[in-house]
Amino acid sequence: MKRIITYGTFDLLHYGHINLLSRAKAMGDYLIVVLSTDEFNWNEKQKKCYFSYDVRKQLLEAIRYVDLVIPESSWEQKNTDIAEYHVDVFVMGDDWKGKFDFLSGKCEVVYLERTPEISTTQIKNDLFSNSR
């Protein structure tokens, strides 16, 4: 069984996220999504999520491509996640290109092209500019 892992916040879930998850799942048999906790997002990324961790987890678990959702609480856990879950392929969007190459000794590292016309940041910006 080929295991794939990806990481993210997945707040304001949109079709770009679905495209990434679909393409990641197509690379193997079992897709693990490591979802940033609210605390990790705030303390490490200075991001406040619209939806809580529990809601974001529930949304991801409803997607047919996703086999398992686990919490991300630190940047360093990637090494242990890869070992613990016997990961074959680590997948991220290409906006992270090169940032996780250090994992290539443990598994294959793949950066997938993002869906160009959509992003959570764009959605937030559009909503903010339209609310004025």
Arithmetic mean of pLDDT over the chain: 91
pLDDT band at 67 (very low <50, low <70, confident <90, very high): very high
Q: Please state the rounded mean pLDDT for residues 25-39.
A: 98
Query: For the sheet containing 89-93, what is the strand order?
Result: 68-72, 30-36, 3-8, 89-93, 108-112
Q: Is 45 a catalytic residue?
A: yes
pLDDT band at 93 (very low <50, low <70, confident <90, very high): very high
Q: Please state the rounded mean pLDDT for residues 114-126.
A: 67
User: CA 45 to CA 65: how far, in whole Å?
Assistant: 26
pTM, 2 dp: 0.88
pLDDT value, residue 72: 97
Q: One of 2, 45, 97, 99 is an active-site residue; which one?
A: 45
Q: Is 97 a catalytic residue?
A: no
